[in-house]
Amino acid sequence: MKNFMKFSLLIGMIALLSLSACKKDEPAPTPEPPATNQFEVFKAYLIDNNLDLPTILDGWITTADVVHENLASYYIIDIRDVDDFTAGHIPGAVNSTLDNVLIAAENSGGKPIIVACYTGQTAGHAVTALRLSGYANAKVLKWGMCSWGTATAGSWQNNAGNTAVGNSNWITPPNPATNVDFGDPTMETSAEGGAAILAERVAALLSGGMNKISNADVLANPGNFFINNFWDAGDQDHYGHIAGAYRIKPLSLAGGEYKYLDQDATLVTYCWTGQTSSMITAYLKVLGYNPKSLLFGANGMIHEDLASHKWSDAEIMNYEYETSVLPHEGFADLKDYLVANDLDLDNVLASWITTADVVYENMEDGDDANDYYIIDIREADDYAAGHIEGAVNSTLGNVLTTAEGAGTQTIIVTCYTGQTAGHAVTALRLSGYTTAQVLKWGMCSWNEATAGSWTNNAGDAAVGNANWTAAPGEIATPVAFGDPSFETTADGGAAILADRVQVLLGGGMNKVTNADVLAAPANFFINNFWTITDVEHYGNISGAYRVQPLTLAGDEYKNLDPDGTVVTYCWTGQTSSMVTAYLKVIGYDSKSLLFGSNGLIHSNLESHKWSSAQIMGYPLVTK
């Protein structure tokens, strides 16, 4: 027994030593770098990179008349609330927010940026952030949208005032406080290097909103704040100032005047309009101070006394506005419109395809009245090398423009295989060209010289594949998922449809290979667009559903997952291209499985099958 106890003790000690050794092998967690005072590093970086406050304030503002005369030259960012933006904005302006202004600026394309807000004050924060972030030519629209027209002038009309007139805390003649050297502010940050610190501080500025304070709050208790009157000495002598205010101007890092600001106080800067003070306040926030801009400046305190720098009706230019529609959910209106106008999917799929022999016979029968308008959307080089006589070359993206030349002729769209043409014909049928048709098998059916795309892609990728369920197949049980969803700014069913067709055409062919689907079918919502008899005869991709018929009016579309990638497959990829294009228009993330079952189980097919018999040997022209 004693020997057993000794042995057990020995084993326990070995285990403890092993655990201890394992723990020693584990790397210690990397500690977060300590926050340190980096003000000197940051100050040096700003000075060395011409980002001192006087540089930021150089040419920082412009007027409505200058902007109006050069609208095309500017990238205008309007940071008002979206409802006010949509009700009326400068033509061409884009809507953003203060916190997202740097993201909006990425689309400026090198144009000088103008930032518009209600009054020109919040825009000062945005422009300071932009100028510190590489957009050195960004400017504030002076007086904000109040200067653009009467409809947007209320923010200044309602806030110019005289709260300091007769107030005991407005001092005349002036008696400014004597400047005191408070030293440097403390800037604790874990960012390393001036550039990283600047990016961090600008982000903090933008996420914190407008740093502002009302004149009522300051005049009630000026002793609660460190107040800087950012005027020239002559102006202070003429008008007076808030009790206890300092006058620190110029104000820079290089000159050391910033040291006259109390880092432990709430710094209130005021100017004539609140616009310059907004720029300064934003800069001080970036430096690490707790600053506030006094709203509306002297125009809110002694408006009636001002001889200049003064808001008046003369500042309102009454230029034109542009209006927008708020983004809104579009599916319900689009569904109603499509059903009411015989544009449901079953309508779009009625007589949507024709064959090479039909096209050739009509084009060659000597009767011009039944000639087709043929649009060939292959690459220009392939079109030039050989195409159907009379065909015009275009692209999927431009097919509607090309269709304008059809007159009363029926449009035939041809591509390499008949698949991309399905997207084009869906777009055409939804856009008034309701008799447009796909050339079956595309140019592969016209001539041996153009048949390679089908000859080289018919195959048996699913034969023997573990993700092909053999006959009689096993179709997933239908699930009611509900409606798809998309946002649009278009108003009304017709406009929404036009907008969604452009989304379709602008996105190219929505396609997926059989290799990708067979490798991971669970990554997709797969719809086998066959009859049940065909599924039982050939089988199906594992996990596939069979949603057919598929319409809006019958609500079968609700059996498609609006949150999944909907892959449709058929016999050839041509019907599935039509279906996929339609689903894209109504809001699904949809893909057509290229070459359909002809790429999956070609050798097993008894019909709907590509073969050399499909090649008609009709003439090609190169002119």
As a whole number, mean pLDDT of residues 113-134 equals 99
Tell me which of 189-193, 431-435, 463-467 is least confident.
189-193
Taking only the tens place, the pLDDT of each residue in 261-288 is 999 999 999 999 999 999 999 999 999 9
Between the CA of residue 15 and those of 1, 10, 22, 28, what are the distances in Å? 21, 9, 11, 22
Whole-number pLDDT of residue 9 = 37
Whole-number Å distance between alpha carbons of 161 and 34: 49
Whole-number pLDDT of residue 31 = 56
As a whole number, mean pLDDT of residues 376-401 equals 98
Taking only the tens place, the pLDDT of each residue in 509-530 is 999 999 999 999 999 999 999 9
Tokens of 79: 């940071």
Whole-number pLDDT of residue 27 = 53
Q: What is the largest CA-CA distance in the chain?
A: 114
SS3 406: helix
Selecting from 3.40.250.10, 3.40.228.10, 2.60.40.730, 1.10.3720.10, what CATH number does the domain 331-614 have?
3.40.250.10
As a whole number, mean pLDDT of residues 99-115 equals 98
CATH topology of domain 39-315: Oxidized Rhodanese; domain 1 (3.40.250)
In which element (H, E) is residue 376 found?
Answer: strand 373-376
Burial of 68 (C-beta count, 10 Å sphere; 0-12/13-18/19+)? middle
Q: Is it the case that residue 16 has pLDDT exceeding 70?
A: no
Task: Identify the residue with better confidence: 69 or 20.
Answer: 69
How do the domains of the chain map onto residue ranges? 39-315, 331-614
Whole-number pLDDT of residue 468 = 99
Question: How confident is the prediction for the chain on average, in pLDDT?
Answer: 95
Whole-number Å distance between alpha carbons of 418 and 408: 23
Whole-number pLDDT of residue 35 = 62
pTM more than 0.75:
no
Taking only the tens place, the pLDDT of each residue in 427-455 is 999 999 999 999 999 999 999 999 999 99
Three-point CA angle 195, 197, 201, nearest 5°: 120
Q: Is it the case that residue 19 has pLDDT exceeding 90?
A: no
Whole-number Å distance between alpha carbons of 363 and 371: 5
